[in-house]
Amino acid sequence: MIPHTPSESPPSNLAALAEDHYFNANPPPKDLQKHMELAKDFIEFHSKAGRRLVLVTSGGTTVPLEKQTVRFIDNFSAGTRGATSAEYFLEAGYAVLFLHRQFSLLPYSRHYSHATDCFLDFLREGPNGSVVARDEDAGKMLNVLRKYREARDKNMLLVLPFVSISDYLHELRGIAQLMKPLGPEGLLYLAAAVSDFFVPPERMSEHKIQSTDAVEAFNKKPSKPSASEEEETFDNFDSSPSVPRSKRLVVDLDPVPKFLKNLVEGWSPEGMIVSFKLETDPKILVHKAKYSLDRYQHHLVIGNLLSTRKWEVVFVSPGNPDKWIRIPQGGKLDDAKEAEKDEPLDPKSLPEQEPEAEIESLIIPAVAELHTKYIKTMEGKKLEA
Ligand code: PAZ
């Protein structure tokens, strides 16, 4: 990989203006200060130990429709990619700062939460009123528990939550800026599914959006509307015009400014930045990944398709041929040589069940290898300068 030369200049004026405007207009999450203190201590601790550190973002961001939020639009993501990747990064010796959507999957506990089985199904009554793991689950659980305890006891994992798109962007900017002193040893692995659209605060209702005219009716007693007025006033999806029921809700969303440029040029100019690109149309995936790399000048885009994301991803990085990483279709890693096809698999050709092996077990070593090359190149450049 040929790393892009980090620019010494601040982001272009336009990007800087958009940043100021967005961050002034959209209030930070209430725990931002507390999170930044935790992140600062964590980053300093690992920086002193000379350890590599990765920021993993995970889960989807919400787009609130009201300031006192009852309703919101959500982005697809369970947090599987992020939580699983975090475990493999820890295994590879990285300290992990895990910025995730609140209540999405977490490293280690993901094996027992959000599953079709309730976590209680993994337990049974033991002797003298104790609770123990079921015999058939005990081996795996002990393994997971040991890894979790080790990460926790050695302070290798810091977990911070976000909910909305603006929470996420405030947290990302703050953490990326704190990671600056790590230089090229810092890795940003952006797997969160981030909304491209939002409701700007000046257009956001303070209170719950009403679906009927009951509040207006409360303020002025209406005379009985004529049939035509009724049609205009009420949108009866159930085609019973005699029952005034619902108003149509038209949601007008603005595009979220693209802050990847600000991240690359200003917030974390020396760190290695890996973004994900999710698409549903196989024909455009690689093109969109290349477009993103070209536009933001970062270091690696990992492309994946919604339907095949657990089976294959494509690495698109500057100066390298596109590289597909796949779980062999038997589902296990050792049952076939990785297929050498350099275009997306046909989703219909894949087995219905999820693969037994986790594709992150292949993604993370490949990312870590690129990170090693990146660090070496950056060190070389510093010596030359
Ligand atoms: O969380 P999950 O495992 O269900 O999904 C992961 C993913 C598809 C959200 C992630 O791999 C990804 O592509 N994130 C970036 C999405 C985007 O293009 O914004």
How high is the pLDDT of residue 230?
Answer: 47
CA distance 64 to 160: 20
Mean pLDDT of all residues in 321-333: 87
Which domains are seen in the chain, by residue range?
13-201+255-384 (3.40.50.10300), 210-248 (no CATH)
Give the pLDDT band of residue 289 (cuts 50, 70, 90).
very high
* Region of residue 59 (phi > 0: left; psi between -120 and 50: alpha; otherwise: beta): left
**If you ran DSSP here, which 8-state letter would residue 65 be given?**
S
Which of 116-130, 243-257, 286-300 has maximum average pLDDT?
A: 286-300
Is the CB of 194 within 6 Å of ligand 1? yes
Q: What is the pLDDT of residue 6?
A: 45
Percent of the chain with pLDDT over 70: 88
- 331 Cβ neighbours under 8 A, 6+ residues apart: 351, 353, 354, 355, 356, 357
Q: What average pLDDT does range 191-198 have in this prediction? A: 98
**Ligand 1 midpoint to CA 254 (Å):** 22
Give the pLDDT confidence score for residue 337 in this predicted structure: 52
Closest ligand 1 atom to residue 60 Cα is: 9
Pocket test for ligand 1, best of 106, 165, 304 (most atoms within 8 A of CB): 304
CB-ligand 1 contact for 285 (6 Å cutoff): no
- Residue 290 confidence (pLDDT) above 80: yes
Atom number, ligand 1, closest to the C-alpha of residue 279: 18
Q: Is the CB of 308 under 6 A from ligand 1?
A: no
Lowest mean pLDDT among 144-148, 166-170, 217-221, 360-364: 217-221
Instruction: Return the pLDDT at 222.
Output: 53
pLDDT value at position 259? 96
pLDDT-derived band at 211, boundaries 50, 70, 90: confident
Instruction: Output the pLDDT for position 36.
Output: 98
Q: Does ligand 1 have an atom closer than 6 angstroms to the CB of 193?
A: yes
Q: What is the pLDDT of residues 221-256, one digit of tens each?
A: 555 555 554 444 444 455 555 555 677 889 999 999
| DSSP-based helix, strand, coil % in the chain, nearest 5 | 40, 20, 40
97 contacts 45 by C-beta, under 8 angstroms: no
Give strand pairing partners of 272. Answer: 187
- Residue 9's pLDDT band, with cuts at 50, 70 and 90, is very low
Q: What is the mean pLDDT of residues 323-329?
A: 92
Ligand 1 atom 10: residue of nearest CA: 191
